[in-house]
Structure formats: structure tokens, C-alpha cells
Amino acid sequence: MSALETLLERVPEVARDLRLNLGAVLEADSLTAGQRWGVAVAAAHAAGAPDLARALTEAGRAAGAPEAAFEDARAAAAIMAMNTVYYRFRHMIGKASYAERPARLRMHRLAKPATSKADLELMSLAVAAIHGCEMCVRAHEDVVVKAGLSEEQVHDAVRAAAVVRGLAQALALEGA
């Protein structure tokens, strides 16, 4: 039995739909294997669920996703943890005086992905959606669409992130 199957068995019955939804989003044919599994792993990291991230990484490797996707997933989760706090603050405050100040936050990894710019941006979009940063969601959606990804791909990536975030919460309910 895989680590993912073992984790999914622990999902309480009240969250049974999430187990079923995971299979559906991980089979979304609009996304490549690297995009599907990269988004899922980035989402698990963003949700603070390291066991789920490890299990998804193992399952993604078994499904043939490239190692670079998991590297970019970790990078997206880390960079966006920083960016979503900073840019959500600027957006919520809404003062021009903050918007005019340079962020001075290093984000060079976004320019040098292990996969492709579009794939890393798609993973970043998924993490931004989890963290609820409207400014980041809009910016990353714009980049991925301009890079040639479709709205269907964006939709499927965010659906996957939502399901993985839900699973992380369901696993936290275990024994509650």
C-alpha cells in the first residue's frame, strides 16, 4: 500500500468526498503530469501538511511526474508563503504610500524554474489561492494565461489545490 493510500484511509468519513475528489483532480487531462503533481505537492506544503506532501510526491514519482516538478513545488510553497503575506498586506491596506515602496524581497527562483516559467507560476497561483492573496492570484493567473496556459488549466490547478487543502484539514480532524 502506498503512503498516499495509507493517508487517505485515515481521512474521516465526514470528509469522504475529498478522497474521491483527489482522484478526479489528479486525473485532470488538461494538465501535464508535472503540473498536476507539482500543484498538489505545492498545495500540501502550503497547507502545512508535510506527510501529505511526502505521500503526494511519492505517488507523483510513481505516476511519472518529473523530479523538477517537485523541486518547483517546494520553491513555490516557500516563496509564496512570503509573498502572500507581503502583497496581501499591501492590498488590504490600500495606501499608495505602501504600494510605492519597493518590496526588496528576493524572488529570483521565479525567473529560473526547474520546470518552466508557466509551470512554476501555475504552482505559485495554486499556493496564492490557498493563502487568499487576491493580488498574487491575479498576477500569477495573468502570467500563466499570457504564457499560453488555458483557463481550463488554471481552473483545474486551483481545483486540485482546493482538494489538497481540504484533505490537509480532514487529516487534522483525525481523532478530533
Residue with cell 501538511: 49
- What does the pLDDT read at residue 18? 95
**Which residue would you say has higher pLDDT here, 133 or 1?**
133
Active site residue ranges: 133, 136
Question: Which structural domains are found in the chain, ordered by start?
Answer: 3-173 (1.20.1290.10)
pTM of the predicted structure, to 2 decimals: 0.95
Confidence of residue 1 (pLDDT cuts 50, 70, 90): confident
d(C-alpha 118, C-alpha 50), whole Å: 25
Task: Reply yes or no on whether the pLDDT at 36 is more than 70.
Answer: yes
For residue range 133-161, list pLDDT tens digits in order: 999 999 999 999 999 999 999 999 999 99
Sign of CA dihedral 168, 170, 171, 172: positive
- What does the pLDDT read at residue 86? 96
- H or E element, residue 5: helix 3-9
Of 1, 18, 128, the closest CA to residue 55 belongs to 1
- What does the pLDDT read at residue 110? 85
- What does the pLDDT read at residue 175? 60
CA 64 to chain centre: 19
